[in-house]
């Protein structure tokens, strides 16, 4: 249910915000998702009343009854996007309305209320404007924004979704996601575990998908790999995603990416790369791609590069693949030219070094 009402945000500034010196110390080496700014957004929702009490307030712990629904039944979902400081000093977000739309698609699947897209984007704008000194100036760094929504009804009844929710946005200055820059990752093909099945929640950005994935990610690490690659639930033959990122396969000057069958998360980075490809003289194709085709393509030399993409790590080359009874290298195992060109174009648009011909940049400051 979308309730079209104009919310105005009540602003309560922190009286213990960090000093410039403290902030600079934190931002010198922020890591990813480790440190948070001084404020956050909260908006409450009640069935019948709709969204209310929109607030910018000091960052801090939430006080929730132990019987709150989210702790027991996991009714939660999130988004992830970044604010970038461009060369001219302005601060921008990349396609925030696409995140707003996906947030609402996830909400529908999780029986949660939709938030007007304008309110979603306004909440980001307000937080980023307030925290603009937290947007890093270091190249490749950004302010990572994490909007999310939790079910807050108290009680253990399972027959009906929560009638109350809280939407929040927190912000975290971030270096690159994978420490050590653009370095090819090794992947483990998971045939024991499945991320998503038809009719399930694979296309929704809900925390439960991640909770169910940790065991496979741990298995990948035990197998000496960096990341897990998910295959289709039915046959464990077709490639779906890598951890929390989408995948692209480079066949010469054609980019192939797994089709959105309903079990993949529709990445905004994936969608952007499909749109950018034509600008770079690359063809695109969305279809099924099997692990057999992946291996055979690498062995014949037809499949020259593979990369993963997502907001957090942008574009990351895949260097080698390991499965229960096989292993192979992609190309010569180093980052390929198409991967690096796509990465450079996307990062260039985000940081303002390349023209924004697709109108993706949303100026905040
Ligand atoms: C968020 C996410 C992605 C990438 O989406 P972007 O919008 O590109 O950041 C891919 N796969 C999963 C499972 C995700 O949660």
Report which of 302, 288, 317 is spatially closest to residue 178, judged by C-alpha positions.
Answer: 317
Distance from Cα 95 to the centre of ligand 1, integer Å: 14
As a whole number, mean pLDDT of residues 330-352 equals 96
Q: Which of 206, 271, 308, 310 to mutate to test the pocket of ligand 1 (most atoms within 8 A of CB)?
A: 310
pLDDT tier for residue 178 given thresholds of 50, 70 and 90? low
Taking CA atoms only, the protein residue closest to ligand 1 atom 6 is: 267
Distance from Cα 310 to the centre of ligand 1, integer Å: 5
Distance from Cα 311 to the centre of ligand 1, integer Å: 7
Q: Which of 76, 80, 98 to mutate to test the pocket of ligand 1 (most atoms within 8 A of CB)?
A: 80
Nearest-atom index, ligand 1, CA of 205 = 15
The tokens for 182 are 């653009």
User: What totals of helices (H) and strands (E) does the chain contain, helices first?
Assistant: 9, 18
* Least confident stretch, 51-60, 151-160, 197-206: 151-160
Residue 255, pLDDT above cutoff 70: yes
CA 301 to chain centre: 31
Q: Which fold has domain 10-174?
A: D-amino Acid Aminotransferase; Chain A, domain 1 (3.30.470)
Distance from Cα 246 to the centre of ligand 1, integer Å: 7
Taking CA atoms only, the protein residue closest to ligand 1 atom 12 is: 244
Distance from Cα 128 to the centre of ligand 1, integer Å: 22
pLDDT of residue 159: 85
Residues 64-74 as b/e (b if ≥16 CB within 10 A, e otherwise) read eeeebbbeebb
Nearest-atom index, ligand 1, CA of 269 = 8
Distance from Cα 65 to the centre of ligand 1, integer Å: 31
Domain boundaries, the chain: 10-174, 185-351
The tokens for 245 are 């990122």
Ligand 1: residues with CB < 6 A are 80, 205, 241, 244-246, 265, 267-270, 310-311
> Residues 6 or more apart from 315 whose CB is under 8 A from it?
182, 269, 273, 307, 308, 309, 339, 342, 343, 346
Report which of 276, 271, 263, 321 is spatially closest to residue 297, judged by C-alpha positions.
Answer: 321
Distance from Cα 12 to the centre of ligand 1, integer Å: 32
> Residues 6 or more apart from 185 whose CB is under 8 A from it?
178, 225, 226, 227, 242, 308, 316, 317, 318, 319
Nearest-atom index, ligand 1, CA of 246 = 10
Mean pLDDT taken over the chain: 95
Query: What CATH number should be reported for the domain whose range is 185-351?
Result: 3.20.10.10
| pTM score of the predicted model | 0.96
Write out pLDDT tens, residues 284-315: 999 999 999 999 999 999 999 999 999 999 99
Dihedral angle of Cα 154, 158, 162, 167, to the nearest 10 degrees: 90
pLDDT of residue 1: 45
Nearest-atom index, ligand 1, CA of 102 = 7
Residue 4, pLDDT above cutoff 60: no
Distances (CA, A) of 79 to 7, 82, 146: 21, 10, 6
Sequence-ordered alpha helix ranges (H) in the chain? 20-28, 69-73, 96-109, 117-130, 207-211, 214-222, 268-277, 291-300, 337-351
Cα separation of 261 and 40, whole Å? 35
pLDDT tier for residue 96 given thresholds of 50, 70 and 90? very high
Residue 239, pLDDT above cutoff 50: yes
Residue 212 or 140, more confident: 212
Write out pLDDT tens, residues 109-135: 999 999 999 999 999 999 999 999 999
Residue 363, pLDDT above cutoff 50: yes
> Going by DSSP bridges, is the β-strand pair 254-258/246-251 parallel, antiparallel, or unpaired?
antiparallel
> Residues 6 or more apart from 28 whose CB is under 8 A from it?
none
Distances (CA, A) of 27 to 174, 176, 232, 236, 283: 8, 13, 40, 42, 40
Distance from Cα 70 to the centre of ligand 1, integer Å: 22
């Amino acid at each position: 249910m979308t309730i079209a009402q104009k919310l105005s945000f009540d602003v309560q500034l922190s009286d213990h915000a960090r000093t410039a010196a403290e902030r600079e110390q934190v931002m010198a080496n922020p890591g990813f998702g480790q440190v948070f700014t001084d404020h956050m957004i909260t908006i409450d929702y009640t069935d019948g009343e709709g969204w209310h009490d929109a607030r910018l307030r000091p960052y801090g712990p939430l006080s929730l009854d132990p019987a709150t629904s989210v702790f027991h039944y996991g009714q939660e979902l999130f988004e992830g996007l970044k604010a970038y400081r461009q060369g001219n000093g302005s601060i921008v977000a990349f396609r925030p309305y696409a995140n707003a739309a996906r947030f609402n698609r996830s909400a529908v699947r999780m029986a949660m209320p939709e938030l007007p897209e304008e309110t979603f984007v306004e909440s980001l704008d307000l937080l980023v404007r307030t925290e603009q000194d937290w947007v890093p100036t270091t190249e490749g760094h950004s302010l990572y924004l994490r909007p999310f929504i939790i079910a807050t009804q108290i009680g253990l009844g399972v027959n009906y979704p929560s009638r109350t929710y809280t939407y929040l946005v927190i912000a975290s200055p971030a270096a690159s996601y994978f420490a050590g820059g653009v370095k090819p990752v090794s992947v483990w093909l998971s045939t024991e575990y499945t991320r998503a099945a038809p009719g399930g929640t694979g296309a929704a950005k809900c925390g439960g998908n991640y909770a169910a994935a940790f065991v496979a990610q741990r298995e990948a690490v035990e197998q000496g790999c960096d990341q897990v690659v998910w295959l289709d639930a039915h046959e464990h033959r077709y490639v779906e995603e890598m951890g929390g990122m989408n995948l692209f396969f480079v066949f010469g000057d054609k980019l192939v990416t797994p089709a959105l069958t309903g079990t993949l998360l529709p990445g905004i980075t994936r969608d952007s790369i499909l749109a950018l490809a034509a600008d770079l003289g690359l063809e695109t194709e969305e279809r099924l791609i099997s692990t057999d085709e992946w291996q055979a393509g690498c062995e014949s030399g037809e499949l020259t590069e593979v990369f993963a993409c997502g907001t957090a790590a942008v574009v990351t080359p895949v260097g080698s693949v390991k499965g229960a009874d096989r292993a192979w290298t992609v190309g010569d195992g180093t980052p390929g030219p198409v991967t690096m060109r796509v990465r450079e174009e996307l990062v260039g648009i985000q940081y303002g070094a390349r023209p924004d011909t697709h109108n993706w940049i949303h100026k905040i400051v």
